[in-house]
Amino acid sequence: MRAKKWCLATAFVLVAGACGSPNSGGGAKDVTPDKVPDNPKNPVTLNIIDVAGNLQLTQGMIDEFVKSHSKVIKKVTYTKATAPELPGKIKAQQSAGQVQIGLVLTGTDGLSAGIDQNLWVKTDDYSSRIGNPNYQAPAAKMQELAQGHGMELVYSPAGPLLEYNPQKVPNPPTTTQELLAWAKAHPKKFQYARPANSGPGRTFLMGLPYLLGDSNPKDPKAGWTKTWAYLQDLGKYVDYYPSKTSEVMTNLANGSADMVATMTGWDINPRALGQVPPGVKVTYLKGMHWVNDAQYAVIPRGVSADVLSADIQLIKSMLTPQQQAKAYDTGYFYPGPAVNGVTLSMAPPKSQQVIQQFGRPEYDKWLTQFPMETSLPAEQQTAAFDQWDRTVGGGKVHK
């Protein structure tokens, strides 16, 4: 979401008109690195589709680059889609040999699906041009999830956290068993969104194996026995699963839900934008491990040499400290910057004001108190989403 009307699970895709390489036999042709010029022969037009809410963090970076590099990018337009829709859109264009999507900015969901289906250009082939982003240590571990097929743009410690209305939940749960007991005593009042399309949803899903002491938190197929059983038990008291996080926050605000799964940015940003009452509270459960989150720039295979040239230059610019400071935004992906040395004092004045007013002092303590874990790698994350859809979500996902 932005809460500025962009959904967390909307990543963005830069699309270039006529950016693919048509081929009469069907299927888009890949461009080899030696064929990619330093600058496009002609400025490209890029259409951007957001499938992770990333534009609210990065659109200022993009617009500033376009303004100062008119010989690289002539025009940008923006559209949006959900992360589950993304692979189908990419594959259809690649099969037709007309890749209209020039760059995708996605969360780990779209990243993983694309790696699994071999949709992305290997950005490692262009590392000498992009340079060394000098990632923060936890962000560097998240970059490894890209497996050389994308560049991390923003980073958040994420969650899992619980957000609740203190008037309805005066004594919030402190353990997973207390959460289950609360949900049983208050049916239909706990909620989280479908993990395949929600940052808080997937963070809750990937955080439970640590909270429950499962045998292997990195193996959803063989190591999550307790997690799958717990989610099925919890699901007995969940009315339905929204398809996007913004609906969960709307339900928290209107009283349809009294407690929801959240993460740092989804706590701060909706309160800052007035979409959730300022008095809601957050808490963690015993055994807490932060499951870090990140969003990435990935390039679909089959784009033209000119589009690749523009993508590389844009990504390099977005990873400079000056541009990274814009990622503080209004707390949407708190803190936001992925690279070292980017402080709040470097952010725009509006961002500084929002974090000072709506940030939570306890986050600084919790971020040093609890262990940090990466999200699941691509294959395991896709498997976890599939199993949740089959065994937990069932027919209860709200379309």
Give residue-wise pLDDT tens across range 333-345.
999 999 999 999 9
φ, ψ for residue 137 (rounded to 5)?
Answer: -55, -50
| Residue 373, strand partner residues | 291
Residue 273 structure tokens: 């934008």
Integer Cα distance of 256 and 209 in angstroms: 28
Residue 272 structure tokens: 């800052």
Contact yes or no for 32/61 (Cβ under 8 A)? no
C-alpha closest to that of 69 among 348, 304, 309, 299? 309
Sequence-separated (6 or more) residues with CB below 8 Å from residue 311: 14, 102, 103, 297, 299, 303
pLDDT at 27: 62
Residue 227 structure tokens: 């997690």
Q: Counting Cβ atoms within 10 Å, is residue 142 exposed (0-12), middle (13-18) or buried (19+)?
A: buried
Q: Counting Cβ atoms within 10 Å, is residue 160 exposed (0-12), middle (13-18) or buried (19+)?
A: buried
Integer Cα distance of 85 and 183 in angstroms: 31
The region, left, alpha or beta by phi > 0 then psi within -120 to 50, assigned to residue 145 is alpha
Residue 143 structure tokens: 């970059």
pLDDT at 394: 86
Measure the CA angle with vertex 172, ends 167 and 177; round to 5°: 145
pLDDT at 260: 98
Question: How many Cβ atoms from other residues are within 10 Å of residue 391's Cβ?
Answer: 12
Contact yes or no for 48/12 (Cβ under 8 A)? yes
Unique residue bearing structure tokens 């990619």: 36
pLDDT at 252: 98
| Residue 166, strand partner residues | none
Integer Cα distance of 134 and 111 in angstroms: 21
Integer Cα distance of 163 and 199 in angstroms: 14
Low-confidence ranges of the chain (pLDDT < 70): 1-28, 399
Contact yes or no for 272/358 (Cβ under 8 A)? yes
CA dihedral 305, 307, 313, 315 (to 10 degrees): -120
Task: Quickly list H helices, the chain.
Answer: 55-68, 86-96, 108-116, 127-130, 137-144, 176-185, 199-212, 225-235, 245-254, 264-272, 305-318, 321-324, 349-358, 361-369, 378-388
Separation in Å, CA 353 to CA 60, 158, 344:
18, 21, 10
pLDDT at 226: 98
Residue range 23-40, pLDDT digits in tens? 333 466 789 999 999 999
Integer Cα distance of 56 and 44 in angstroms: 22
